[in-house]
Amino acid sequence: MSTPITKRCITIALLALILIAAAWAWQRYQSLLPSRTASKTAPQSVNWQQVRIDEVHVYKSQRQVRVLQNGQVIKTYAMRLGFTPLGHKTTEGDGKTPEGRYNIDWRNPNSQFYKSLHISYPNAADKAQAQARGVSAGGDIMIHGSSNLPQGQPKQALYDYLPRNDWTHGCISVSNQDMDELWRNVKNGTKIEIYP
């Protein structure tokens, strides 16, 4: 038979375990959210006339796009992802942003979301896995701006706007201001590596 002290010790131990589990779950949940401090890109002075971007790295978990020259990070941009950001894109409409090595293969100056740089997803492996499952791998994955400015609206009104949460269908969204800089300095054929 349990004594009142034993019951109290068991109750305290159970409450402690529940609090530990809740704290762990909260920390895990917070780690999956976009960083609140990454919503604005810190000003970084770059002399673009002396730089030739040869690679773009995308870090999904950090919500960052980094442009590199000869392996050195030249500038970092805040970004947002597809509405289901975890994991590699495998199916059209899954809301995921692909992971892996691709290229910037063409661009659209009249994109639905300001301007856009096309990522060469799906590659042969992406197509093969989708075909084996009898589904479409999807496509039209871009780096693009965050808003299409209506005619006559002052450019600055939404120029540096970046939504707080992930919102695309799998694309990588940056502010229009950052998109202009990427548009000018990331050429077609540039390698892009997208990390989890």
Percent of the chain with pLDDT over 90: 61
What confidence score (pLDDT) does residue 147 get? 79
* CA–CA distances in Å: residue 118 to residues 58, 62, 64, 101, 143: 14, 21, 17, 13, 7
Instruction: Please write the tens of the pLDDT for every residue from 37-91.
Output: 343 444 567 888 888 999 999 999 999 999 999 999 999 999 999 999 999 999 9
User: Residue 124 contacts by C-beta under 8 Å, 6 or more apart in sequence?
Assistant: none
Q: Write down the catalytic residue from 9, 88, 144, 169.
A: 144
d(CA 90, CA 195): 15
Q: Write down the catalytic residue from 9, 57, 169, 171.
A: 171
Q: Which of 176, 173, 146 is nearest to 159 (CA)?
A: 176
Asked about 171 being catalytic, the answer comes back as: yes
Could you please state the CATH topology (level 3) that the domain comprising 36-195 is classified under.
L,D-transpeptidase catalytic domain-like (2.40.440)
d(CA 88, CA 8): 48
Instruction: Please write the tens of the pLDDT for every residue from 116-159.
Output: 999 999 999 999 999 999 999 999 999 999 877 665 555 666 78
d(CA 165, CA 173): 11
Asked about 144 being catalytic, the answer comes back as: yes
Ordered by start, the domain boundaries in the chain are: 1-32, 36-195
